[in-house]
Chains A and B, each alone.
Chain A
Amino acid sequence: MSDIADRVKKIVVEHLGVEEEKVTENASFIDDLGADSLDTVELVMAFEEEFGIEIPDDAAETIQTFGDAVKFISEAA
């Protein structure tokens, strides 16, 4: 697993308080990991800080799963 994926996973595990095994490629933050809409905003904020990138609102809306996040950040960072 890439370094980016590890760092994203760490943020998700810490923020949502979920088991690491549950954070899989297709795991949806809201449907599978128990995030509410405010959690998803906070996750995006945390990704922005961790990776020093800007995630515009329209892009943030497309980040639904752990895989989406890793893909977006890999392309942006």
Chain B
Amino acid sequence: MFDLTGKAALVTGASGGIGGGIARALHAAGATVALSGTRTGPLEELAAELGSRAHVIACNLSDAVSVEALPKLAAEAMGSVDILVNNAGITRDQLAMRMSDEDWAQVIDVNLTSTFRLCRGVLRGMMKARWGRIINVTSIVGATGNPGQTNYAASKAGVVAMSKSLAAEVASRGITVNAVAPGFIATAMTDKLNDEQKGRIMGQIPMGRMGEPGDIAAAVLYLASPEAGYVTGATLHVNGGMAML
């Protein structure tokens, strides 16, 4: 099940915990992967670990020119982009009263605008192929909100609404567009929390543990598969029961 042999996948934020997990899962299912991110060191390491069928394409998602070029570079490296996983994201947490316009704009630019640009950039090839999978990684806070994250939560809710609209536009061409919404996942991003914060979060998770990158990767792998061809415009929440949406 979930055989991606012959498919080419572009994964952004592949230098991070979740992105790396997603790239590993798609690669293990047979896909060729293009690993994108700003830090090439971890990307090269991951590519070396994966061996064949792995390409590294650096991209700064806050730079519009670099974002426009990414789908083309990925298609040149792999022959096509059949699967796009928009996983990259940044946070600039701050209480709304103290949040600068810059912190707001940066998060919207990288998390929402670059996600849209990458979707637009891969559509031509997918439309011609009459097959495509776009999976946008959003967040539980896009649905629930979170103090200190007005910018991040807005960007992630925006990604969900964008995914649904795009899903409706391209469904007739065999292209699905879905979102995966992680809850609290053990990564470098959540390592920064102190024990008290972690304890408080843990109390809200019925499953009693943080998620692993592999939990998210499995959801992405499903949505990327031929078997998920009738699923579009959906948001798959992977959060240990933290929010039952």
Contact = CB atoms under 8 A, between A and B. Distances in A.
Interface of A: 36, 38, 42, 45
Interface in B157-193: 169-170, 172-173
What class of interface size applies to chain B in its complex with A?
under 10
A66 to B, nearest CB: 21
Nearest to A45: B124
Interface in B71-128: 124, 127-128
Contacts of A36: 172
Contacts of A45: 124, 127-128
B124 A38 contact: no
Nearest to B128: A45
A45 to B, nearest CB: 6
Contacts of B124: 45
10 contacts: A36-B172, A38-B127, A38-B169, A38-B170, A38-B172, A38-B173, A42-B127, A45-B124, A45-B127, A45-B128
Nearest to B170: A38
Nearest to A39: B172
A42 B128 CA distance: 8
B106 to A, nearest CB: 28
Contacts of A42: 127
A36 B169 CA distance: 11
B212 to A, nearest CB: 39
Nearest to B172: A38
A42 B173 CA distance: 11
A38 B169 CA distance: 8
Contacts of A38: 127, 169-170, 172-173
A36 B124 CA distance: 17
Nearest to B123: A41
Given A36-B172, A45-B124, 4 more contacts: A38-B169, A38-B172, A38-B173, A45-B127
A38 B10 CA distance: 24
Nearest 7 A/B pairs, CB to CB? A42-B127, A45-B124, A38-B169, A38-B172, A38-B173, A38-B170, A45-B127
A70 to B, nearest CB: 23
A36 B127 CA distance: 14
Nearest to A48: B124
A38 B174 CA distance: 13
A18 B153 CA distance: 47
